[in-house]
Amino acid sequence: MTDSVLYSVLLLASLGVVAALVLYIVSKKFYVYENPLIGEVDEILPGANCAGCGSPGCKSFAEKLVNTEDISELFCPVGGNDVMKQVAALLGKEVAEKDPTVAVLRCQGGCDVRPKTTEYQGPRTCAISAMVYSGETDCQYGCLGDGDCVAVCDFDAMYMDEATGLPVIDTDKCTSCGACVKACPRDIIEMRPRNKRDLKIFVGCLNEDKGGIAKKSCAVACIGCSKCEDICPKDAVTMENNLAYIDAALCTLCRKCVEVCPTHSIIETNFPPKKPKKVVEKKPVVKKVVEKTEVEKVAVVKEQVVAKVESENPKTDA
Amino acid sequence: MLKTFPKGGIHPPENKLTAEKGIKRMAVPKVVTVPIAQHIGIPAEIVVDKKDKVEIGQVIAKSGGFVSSNIHSPVAGTVTKIDQIIDTSGYKKQCIVIRTDAKNEANFVETEYPLLTEIKLESKEIVKKIADFGVVGLGGATFPSHVKLNVKEGVKLDYLIINGVECEPYLTADHRLMLEKTAEIIVGIKILMKALNIDKAIIGIENNKKNAINQFKELTKNEPGIQVAALQVKYPQGGEKQLVRAILGREVPKNGLPMDVGVVVNNVGTVFAVYEAIQHNKPLMERVVTVTGKKMENPSNFWVKIGTPIKDLIAEVGGIPEGTRKLVNGGPMMGKAIKNTDVPVTKGTSGILLIDENEASRGEAKNCIRCGECVFVCPMGLEPHLLMNLSEKGLYEKASNEDIMTCIECGSCSYVCPSHRPLLDYIRFGKSIVKKLETSKN
Amino acid sequence: MSQPIIVSASPHVHSDRTSKKLMYDVVIALIPAFLVSLYVFGIGAFIVTAAAVISCIVFEYLIQKFLLKSEVTIGDGSALITGMLLAFNLPSGIPIWMIIVGSLFAIGVGKLSFGGLGFNIFNPALVGRVFLLISFPVQMTTWPTAIENQTVLADAVTGATPLGLIKEGLMFGETMTNISANLPSNLEMFLGLSGGSIGEMSALALLIGGIYLLARKVITWHIPITMLVTMAVMTGIFWLINPESYASPLIHILSGGALLGAFYMATDLVTSPMTKKGMVIFAIGIAVITVVIRLFGAYPEGVSFAILIMNAFVPLINTYFKPRRFGSKIKAKIV
């Protein structure tokens, strides 16, 4: 009895020793030298492997950082300036500071303001439906609503709003890795600077059609009226192909353009409520804005816009 | 046993509702919308301005390169605007809108051209004239015809094949043309034979068009160079590669062209356009369009000016029937669904098909049951189920190795799939990505 | 036009074949064999079949609804087929609880653990059958003999299958001439009046169903014909060499699960190869393994094992036996 116990213990122990030896020899024999700095840099990096920096993963980005002389061109959008500074300190190299950015959706054409005129059947991915035709609505520039951007987001920072059929970006979670920008066949997602307290002003439309046609297809489309361009004190607004664009570098967030836009296609986010005097009926909605989280604020702004458009222009396509 | 291609193929219900209907001439539309991208290749360059007066047959957009084609005004009138208008691609494209001059008699004169059999031009001149007169392949691909006729030095050609197969269900445009313009088409064939310096031509016609086969046989009795081949009815026999395989038994190599096996293929519609261009100096500005649908009051074949809005055609046959859910430009297998009836007829519009509710909806896609039906019917010997999977998962490199690029997009796989899987949708998507990857590599 | 126009990519028409129709065609094809089993085994066959079908459908429903929380697909007919095929591979006297266990294994492990219809590697009914055969060898090989027990379910008179008789006889050193005295005649086997599993009784009924499937183009001839011909050739060679130790090809084809396997189980769309070349290779493989098990193995019957073994090779076959790509052979045919 004791013999058999002893034998099995011995056998197993010796097997273990042999296996350990083999492992040891193999690990020595096939050891690949790697710059220890790469491991250290990799530790600092966020480890999300999102490929937002252009490298396929954090490890390869770390290698690139270690092996490149001048790393001022390289940037980890997820880690931001903090991480890059740490890396620079570790490697003794210079990095360029970049303004933190966040993804914004440049389309507000929800189901309620942009009516569907056809029905698409086929695989529900934006990439394929964009190949078939210009989309279910009459606007061939706006969101297709099949959520390719949501599918590629590794940070759970996007979801589809069932009511509007548009994706919503959670700015707290967005790391500005840029995956959604690449996935969108319509290029409606743009990386814009976060600014202070995440205040942003941008044109929420990409429709290049002439005013009448644009308005007919979508109530909140930019109609290219140039009012914003005229009023902007800093010349931050440019008009091209019947479409306004706000240059974030020049914009001082004065919000004058938001006020003049007749179709409310210019979006402001996270601003404190306006003086209530201006639009009286807006008051209850404005109050809500204060309580809502950042994400929802965008949606609320949109709601206001819709409400206002409808009340002001009952016959939109006249 | 009639000839056909051996691998794959399907036989969908033919539904040739308009086979007995003669080609009627459509009234000249009040406004025509002429897109500048009506052919494969580089879009043409607009050479007219807003408010310009144009004559019938005047060049309004010039060929933008070698693989491109001239575009002629189908009416006499005034250019009212040059604008982005939705066309058959489903996207807004540059179009020239011309208002027909109601007073200009040239618009309403119907010339009956006499049959001219004597071919005066030399080979080079013929090719040049075909290019100038904007002739493109009218079978559906709209490949500029002069490019096909520009044979490189040293390439030996021995057969001209004329595609009168019309394997798409519903469509009868080519069938009617063959019946009504038989003699003209034969002259057109001779013109092409002269241009290509080929002495043998075969007209391939599927056996469901027996009257056309007989008529061609009758008229080519004394033409030793021209033969008629009756083919078994099978889709997609109208595909170039399948047709060459069916008639001559030659297999066009992978990624190759019929030219690689000494053959040039042209559609009967194209041949007729060539005849009109060469013998009567008439540029390509009208074509035969089948307007059809099961519920339609009076489906018919029409001679239609390029640029006529589709709604005019539909009004002519009694309006859109109740319950129509889909508008297709072309046949049911390879045609494109269009968004609305403002879309104009282009050089590639062989038919307008209206599909009602019952047939318009796609079935819900279910799991693949691995029955292999798509593999059996693929005329190119591909494995559609595999290609769809690879393309869905983003494995484009592998898909490329599985010859995804040789797919001719005939749709046989999607047609037979008992689980209603969108096979071709994904394959087409995979192809577009593989193409992008390949061009970025080079 | 009250509803919006539909836009989709081509093709815009579809054949009227659906997977559901294919499945129900298989069910229809199984009916003749089922009727014969009712005639031969009486109520027992009905109880076994009903138990297998119901438990397969119920288990599919329960697992999909509560365990996987996915879409319930019991309507597509595949669970029904699994139940029927499982029952057809069982003796009519088997206790019902075993059928339920077998169904659970067939549906749960054989099908849904792989991801449901279309993703399973092995034929679910055979997975269930082989599971039962290995777990309960006695009950699984106790064959109530035909005719005598039309109404009685348990404690019936039992007998052996023709193949079982041959195997046993040969093991005890008897010659085929002696054994064949105890065997049912070829005609009896053809009509289905011998012992065996519920569904493998009547070659005639199975052939009728098989021809129906071929006529409806649910299956192609490649698998069943190749498999049966290969089996006949192989057993024929042995039989010609020594007719005293090997049974004739006719006995091999008509008895046991050869026909049931060839027409209904090897041809299972999901678990068979997707190219015609592949199907031929697959069928040859099944036939060879079956014959080897029958002639030299411990089991008298080997079709189930053979099909399962070849099922495992299907992905490999699909990878290596591809259809010939159009234009891949470039022959200079230019005159």
Q: DSSP readout, A238-274? A: EEETTEEEE-TTT-----HHHHH-TT--EEEESPPPP
pLDDT score, position B200: 93
Give the separation between CA C324 and CA B8, rounded to whole angstroms: 11
pLDDT score, position B266: 94
Q: What is the pLDDT of residues A156-207, one digit of tens each?
A: 999 999 889 999 999 888 888 888 999 999 999 999 988 888 888 999 999 9
pLDDT score, position A243: 92
pLDDT score, position C73: 86
Identity at A9, one-letter amino acid code: V
Nearest to B305 by CA among B323, B284, B325, B321: B284
Residues in chain B with CB shorter than 8 Å from the CB of C269 are 369-372
Q: Write the CATH number of the domain with boundaries B123-280.
A: 3.40.50.11540
pLDDT > 70: percent of chain A: 86
Partner C contacted by B305 (CB < 8 A): no
Nearest to A54 by CA among A43, A44, A40, A68: A68
The pTM is what?
0.87
Task: Evaluate if residue A310 carries a pLDDT over 70.
Answer: no
Reduced to 3 states (helix: H, G, I; strand: E, B; else coil), residue B415 is helix
Q: What is the pLDDT of residues A262-279, one digit of tens each?
A: 999 999 888 877 655 444
Give chain A's radius of gyration (CA, Å).
27
**H-run or E-run covering C44:** helix C43-62
Residues in chain C with CB shorter than 8 Å from the CB of A128 are 9
Task: Evaluate if residue A291 carries a pLDDT over 80.
Answer: no
* Helix/strand number for chain B, H first, E second: 14, 17
Partner B contacted by A146 (CB < 8 A): no
Partner C, chain B 404-423, Cβ-Cβ below 8 Å = 406, 409, 411, 414-416, 418-420, 422
pLDDT-based confidence at residue C122 (cuts at 50, 70, 90): very high
Nearest to C109 by CA among C317, C272, C308: C308
* Neighboring chains of A (3 or more beta-carbon pairs < 8 A): B, C
pLDDT > 90: percent of chain C: 53
pLDDT-based confidence at residue A77 (cuts at 50, 70, 90): confident
Residues in chain B with CB shorter than 8 Å from the CB of C60 are none
Task: Evaluate if residue C332 carries a pLDDT over 80.
Answer: no
What's the mean pLDDT when you consider all of chain C? Answer: 86
Facing residue for A133 by CB, picked from B84, B90, B428: B90
Q: What is the pLDDT of residues B312-348, one digit of tens each?
A: 999 988 888 888 999 999 999 999 999 888 899 999 9
Do residue A116 and residue C7 have CB atoms under 8 angstroms apart? no
Identity at C238, one-letter amino acid code: F
Give the separation between CA B340 and CA B324, rounded to whole angstroms: 12
Task: Evaluate if residue A313 carries a pLDDT over 70.
Answer: no
Partner C contacted by A271 (CB < 8 A): no
pLDDT score, position C155: 39
CATH 3.40.50.11540 domain extents, chain B: 123-280
Q: Which spans in chain A are helix H?
A: 2-29, 36-44, 58-67, 80-91, 126-132, 148-152, 179-183, 211-217, 227-231, 256-260, 283-291, 294-312
Do residue B428 and residue A131 have CB atoms under 8 angstroms apart? yes
Reduced to 3 states (helix: H, G, I; strand: E, B; else coil), residue C244 is coil
Task: Evaluate if residue A304 carries a pLDDT over 80.
Answer: no
Q: What is the pLDDT of residues A80-100, one digit of tens each?
A: 888 888 888 888 888 888 888
Residues in chain C with CB shorter than 8 Å from the CB of A116 are 4
Q: What is the pLDDT of residues A205-225, one digit of tens each?
A: 999 988 888 998 999 999 999
Residue A95 contacts residue A53 (beta carbons within 8 Å): no
DSSP B216-260: HHHHTTT-TTEEEEEE---BTTTSHHHHHHHHH---PPTT--GGG
Model ipTM value? 0.87
What's the mean pLDDT when you consider all of chain A? Answer: 83
Peptide bond into C124 cis (omega under 30): no
Nearest to B273 by CA among B261, B263, B284, B281: B284
- Chain-centre distance for alpha carbon A37: 31
* CA torsion angle B174 B179 B183 B185 (round to 10): 10
pLDDT-based confidence at residue A290 (cuts at 50, 70, 90): very low
* Neighboring chains of C (3 or more beta-carbon pairs < 8 A): A, B
Residue B50 contacts residue B81 (beta carbons within 8 Å): yes
Low pLDDT (below 70) residues in chain B? none
Do residue B362 and residue A128 have CB atoms under 8 angstroms apart? no
Task: Evaluate if residue A295 carries a pLDDT over 70.
Answer: no
Task: Evaluate if residue C96 carries a pLDDT over 60.
Answer: yes
Q: Show the domains of chain A with their CATH numbers.
A: 36-91 (1.10.15), 101-312 (no CATH)
User: Could you give the angle at the alpha carbon of B19 between the alpha carbons of B325 and B342, nearest 5°?
Assistant: 35
pLDDT (average), residues A231-248? 91
User: Which phi and psi angles does A140 have, rounded to 5°?
Assistant: -95, 15
Reduced to 3 states (helix: H, G, I; strand: E, B; else coil), residue B356 is strand
Residue B126 contacts residue B190 (beta carbons within 8 Å): no
